[in-house]
Chain A
Amino acid sequence: MEVLLPRTLEEALEIKAARPEAVPIAGGTDLMVELNFDRRRPALMVDVSRLPELREWRRENGTVFLGAGVTFTRIIRELPEFVPLVQASRTVGSPQIRNRGTVGGNLGTASPAGDALPVLAAYDAEIVLAAAGGRRRALPWHQFLVGPKRHAAAPDELILGARWGIVRGPGSFSKVGPRNAMVIAVASLCLVMDEGARAFRVALGSVGPTILRAPEAEAFAVRALADAGAWDDPRASLSPPALQEFGERVAAAARPIDDVRGTAAYRRHACAVLARRALAWAFEDRRSTSRSS
């Protein structure tokens, strides 16, 4: 096995152009497991963990760009205002895994259980891809994540990072698993309330072949809030039956299966509970921030 250690993004992209079969390795927390299990035997790996272009994040007029090489530990430390993203990062593995594991790796693996992915979906992020010769393109998250462990980057491309519009409003990420830490999601949910656009976005992990959104439920919540005249009233909430219905509509968007980690019935049920709680928390958090500001 050959391992190449490019120093710049351009070098790395040239390697990918010349030898598209080269497998990128960032933190290695997914890839090395695959190798250890002997599920993959790449002849060539290209280490992207030392490329400065991938390790940065920045704000650019109303959006944020998060480099593929930013680790979960750094997200927790450096991006505290992106609450759901920080919450998702906290649930990833253990401190060791968070120190190595990256958002780019999460995207590269494209597992429906990848914890950063529901957050990116709820932010309506686009995934920025790069190829040699300065070629760049951005794909909306749903065009990037095309199936279980499948994404749309071309063989000569690297994931540069993710970009999304900064949202004003509360949000949260939750993940259910049969252990209280270090667990792969049996079901996960990210809810973002976009007060500027008067929208809700809800994304689900581990309950379908890939990350799913719940557009019906989102529209229901928007309507319900409008009907209650609550968009302008930071102290307003929804009635328990409305919260309940929201939960059920979110659960209806799930397409879960039975597997060794959990049953389809439980997964669907968990979606409803998580959705109901997340929406209630959004109102709770809106109330407390409006009180404090």
Chain B
Amino acid sequence: MSVRILPGTRGGVGESVRRVDGVPKVKGAFQFASDLWAEGMLWGYTLRSPHPHARIRAVEISAALTDPGVHAVLLAADVPGKKTYGLEFSDQPVLAWDRVRYAGEPVAVLAAADLETARRATERIRVDYDVLPAVTDMGEALRPDAPRVHDFGNVLRHIRIEHGDPGAPADVWVEGYYETGMQDQASLGPEAGLAIPADDGGVDLYVATQWLHVDRMQIAPCLNLPEEKVRLYLAGVGGAFGAREDVSMQVHACLLALRTRRPVKMVYSREESFYGHVHRHPSRIWMRHGARRDGTLVNVYARILMDGGAYASSSAAVIGNASTFATGPYEVPNALIEGTCVYTNNPPCGAMRGFGAVQVCFAYEAQMDKLARALGMDPVEIRLKNALGTGSVLPTGQVITGSAPVREVIRRCAAIPLPEEPAASRGGDPCSYPGGAGNVSRGEGLRRGMGFAIGFKNIAYSEGFDDSAEVRVKLFAGPAGPVAEVHSAAAEVGQGIHTVLTQIVRTGLGVEHVLLHPPDTQVGSAGSTSASRQTMMSGGAAQLACAVVREELCARVRRRAEAEGRALRGEITLEGGAVLAGNAPVGRVEEFLEMPIECVRTYHHRRTQPLDARGQGDVHVALAFAAQRAVVEVDEELGLVRVVQVATAQDVGRAINPQNVAGQIEGGTAQGLGLALMEEIQLQDGQIRNASFTDYLIPTILDMPPVISVLVEEPEPGVPFGAKGVGEPSTVVSTAAIVAALRDATGRELNRVPVRPDDLIGLSPPVASPGPPPSPDVPGPEPIPKRAGLAAGQADLMRGD
């Protein structure tokens, strides 16, 4: 029996519905995690290591405890359960014992009556450190005599992908070396949460996170509590971008709450936030591209080195992405790709929007431009010539079965009109020149440049992960008609999943009034709000659940008709709260809802495989593509930049909410622009030198150009509505596109991002290649994945769900 939903329901799929959280956020009424408050609550504070590598000889806490405002000071010995946690490998101490491995690592936590008391008391904790030699350079980390960050060695993961004949000859070769700096997610909301001890010995934690259930999976064993006694609720999230995938203050706040039997709130300051979450991996990338004279790619050699910092976080998956995407969205018959992620005594790196795909895109797109120049080809033409499509084979041997409108995004992007050439004098407004509000130009030394880049990104988790999502949908009679309630643990981090869920439920049930149950762990895992996956995964679960609810409603309609001896003719349809059979009204929806209809469904994406020893496997679920063209103006004397326009076409499968998609593209572009021009955590001997928004610069509105976006809608088969995720592809490509435009404007090599003014005026030379590092696949320490195996991380996850 089928039920058709007529397209009459307002606010459904495909409409630019206003965000459900939009008005409160604009008005400042939205409660973020840092606004949490409870009667009698204490404030937690963290003591962090000042050293990148040291042995802890002793910790003396008595002086901190003398203040009557201090309620507890906890050390590693006070952790009642497991002493470590981690997303993929449990290698990160809740509180360091014995050794600290990065500057900023938590050593003690303290709870006090107020934040100031907590801060001051923390200063009175005395830690006796025996400073050890540190390894803070990713290249050095591979040397056999380098200090070991962990006893098993410094190789976090090594991947080798052999494809076709890596010795295949080519007519033309281009070579390049590229570096990317450590970027910060720079969410405006710092890490924050409130833990409240419960009467059953458990704890309720309100926290800003990306994935409630994976937090709980890591928290509960540390607290030595069963998972059902650790209940998580999503607090208002002020941005995430990957930084909230890892646990930060979660375990600490719970430990303090359980110890003091008082609610404990923790909020990081901006400075602490730089130490308290993972960053984007800095990278060093060597590439060699070989092509035939006609521009056809023949062979690619890529060697990628990434700095994972002191703990694993999601590094194994990041280097997996970087390696499998190293050749870009191009058909490459032969390739040898080696990716290595190392441990160092730098702050840990992990997830950030683009997740490994950003760094390699910067490299492979520079290579494609080099190749085009060597062959005298147009940059757009060479990309069209080699573009992937459905049926193409990736270096991992994976055959693309889904939609892959790569040529379409290239063509549509290239067709967007260029910005007009500006008038010589721009009405005297300095903001229309590079340097902006600084008033440094009246148009002197201006050069325009244009750059083009394409890139791609996987949707959802790869390499055999089953990151399923559960949703509960309930349809009941409200005072003013039928109401649908949707309960999902999916974290709204600003990207719009809550709005998307209400749209999907409206379309699924033909009911306009949709309520969102606050996200918590009382419903099953939604998986992470990352990897551009929530619309596909939680959206998919909502769609499945709605279908079941609809079937039940329909069955009730038929049962009642039978009981009343009426025959229903035609298909049963729901429209604007009414039930129709054929064209005949049968009644209002709520008349069939004396008992609510409720259904829980879980959506699984198609199965993928781990990489085998030769780097082969069907590893990615689905791929999304984007093309961007950037136009920049460079003040060639001062090395300052104004990005004039970004034009982009993005493969979105299907836009559930076009305005929201445009918003994601603009935000993602801003983050890519930041990496291109200014964003870098500057490290010196493992210490962050710019842990503040004074010196870690992110783009302002005066740095952002207008973004003209075209959505290419070629539905992905087998996924709900054919919708692909849209959060990341723009970030993947915009750094590459902007730097390509800078190269065009200046004629300089610019092989490192962020590009500095010095680089643009030739005051500093391009970074020199130290040469590809030795492949660590030689006798020596076993990389972690060989010891534990990605599958081990997966097993943990499955158990956790």
* A269: nearest chain-B partner, CB-CB: B763
Tell me the B residues contacting A by CB distance below 8 Å.
Answer: 119, 269, 271, 431, 434-442, 444, 637-640, 642, 677-678, 682, 689-690, 692, 694-695, 697, 699-703, 756-758, 761, 763-764
List, in ascending order, chain B residues with CB within 8 A of A277's CB. Answer: 440-442, 444
**Alpha-carbon distance A157/B438, docked complex (angstroms):** 33
With A180-B703, A263-B764 known as contacts, the answer to whether A175 contacts B678 (CB < 8 A) is no
**Alpha-carbon distance A95/B109, docked complex (angstroms):** 38
* A172: nearest chain-B partner, CB-CB: B439
A sample of 25 inter-chain contacts (CB < 8 A) reads A172-B439, A173-B439, A174-B439, A175-B438, A175-B439, A176-B440, A176-B640, A178-B677, A178-B697, A178-B757, A179-B703, A180-B431, A180-B434, A181-B437, A183-B697, A184-B695, A185-B438, A260-B682, A263-B763, A263-B764, A265-B764, A266-B639, A266-B757, A273-B638, A277-B444
Whether the pair A178, B269 counts as a contact (CB closer than 8 A) is no
Whether the pair A37, B271 counts as a contact (CB closer than 8 A) is yes
Whether the pair B439, A87 counts as a contact (CB closer than 8 A) is yes
A149 is an interface residue with CB less than 8 A from chain B: no
| B420 vs chain A, min Cβ distance (A) | 20
**Alpha-carbon distance A273/B442, docked complex (angstroms):** 13
| A108 vs chain B, min Cβ distance (A) | 18
Whether the pair B700, A181 counts as a contact (CB closer than 8 A) is yes
Whether the pair B438, A174 counts as a contact (CB closer than 8 A) is yes
User: Could you tell me the dominant secondary structure of chain B's interface residues?
Assistant: loop
A231 is an interface residue with CB less than 8 A from chain B: no
**Alpha-carbon distance A170/B167, docked complex (angstroms):** 68
List, in ascending order, chain A residues with CB within 8 A of B435's CB. Answer: 174, 176, 180
A128 is an interface residue with CB less than 8 A from chain B: no
Given contacts A178-B678, A180-B434, 9 further A-B contacts (CB under 8 A): A174-B440, A178-B697, A180-B703, A181-B431, A184-B695, A262-B757, A266-B763, A273-B637, A277-B440
The proximity string for A residues 29-45 relative to B, scoring 1 for CB distances below 8 Å and 0 otherwise, is 00001001110000000
- Contact of A266 (CB < 8 Å), options: B700, B702, B758: B758
Residue of B438, B694, B699 with most chain A CB atoms under a 10 A cut-off: B438
The 3 A-B residue pairs whose C-beta atoms are closest, nearest first, are: A180-B436, A181-B702, A175-B438
The proximity string for A residues 139-169 relative to B, scoring 1 for CB distances below 8 Å and 0 otherwise, is 0000000000000000000000000000000
- Contact of A180 (CB < 8 Å), options: B639, B690, B695, B702: B702
**Alpha-carbon distance A38/B692, docked complex (angstroms):** 13
| B738 vs chain A, min Cβ distance (A) | 14
- Contact of B699 (CB < 8 Å), options: A179, A185, A186: A179
**Alpha-carbon distance A184/B696, docked complex (angstroms):** 11
With A261-B695, A265-B758, A269-B763 known as contacts, the answer to whether A179 contacts B439 (CB < 8 A) is no
**Alpha-carbon distance A262/B695, docked complex (angstroms):** 11
| A261 vs chain B, min Cβ distance (A) | 7
List, in ascending order, chain B residues with CB within 8 A of A263's CB. Answer: 758, 763-764
The proximity string for A residues 248-287 relative to B, scoring 1 for CB distances below 8 Å and 0 otherwise, is 0000000000001111011001100110010001001000
A177 is an interface residue with CB less than 8 A from chain B: yes
Whether the pair B703, A91 counts as a contact (CB closer than 8 A) is no
Residue of A179, A181, A262 with most chain B CB atoms under a 10 A cut-off: A179
| A74 vs chain B, min Cβ distance (A) | 18
A182 is an interface residue with CB less than 8 A from chain B: yes
* A177: nearest chain-B partner, CB-CB: B438
List, in ascending order, chain B residues with CB within 8 A of A185's CB. Answer: 438
| B484 vs chain A, min Cβ distance (A) | 42
A90 is an interface residue with CB less than 8 A from chain B: yes
| A248 vs chain B, min Cβ distance (A) | 13
List, in ascending order, chain B residues with CB within 8 A of A183's CB. Answer: 438, 697
| A243 vs chain B, min Cβ distance (A) | 11
**Alpha-carbon distance A181/B702, docked complex (angstroms):** 6
**Alpha-carbon distance A183/B694, docked complex (angstroms):** 8
Whether the pair B439, A91 counts as a contact (CB closer than 8 A) is yes
List, in ascending order, chain A residues with CB within 8 A of B637's CB. Answer: 273
* B638: nearest chain-A partner, CB-CB: A273
List, in ascending order, chain A residues with CB within 8 A of B763's CB. Answer: 263, 265-266, 269
**Alpha-carbon distance A181/B440, docked complex (angstroms):** 12
With A181-B702, A182-B700 known as contacts, the answer to whether A90 contacts B444 (CB < 8 A) is no
**Alpha-carbon distance A90/B429, docked complex (angstroms):** 12
| A194 vs chain B, min Cβ distance (A) | 20
* A273: nearest chain-B partner, CB-CB: B637
Whether the pair A176, B756 counts as a contact (CB closer than 8 A) is no
| B327 vs chain A, min Cβ distance (A) | 32
List, in ascending order, chain A residues with CB within 8 A of B434's CB. Answer: 180
| B663 vs chain A, min Cβ distance (A) | 22
List, in ascending order, chain B residues with CB within 8 A of A270's CB. Answer: 638, 757
**Alpha-carbon distance A72/B647, docked complex (angstroms):** 37
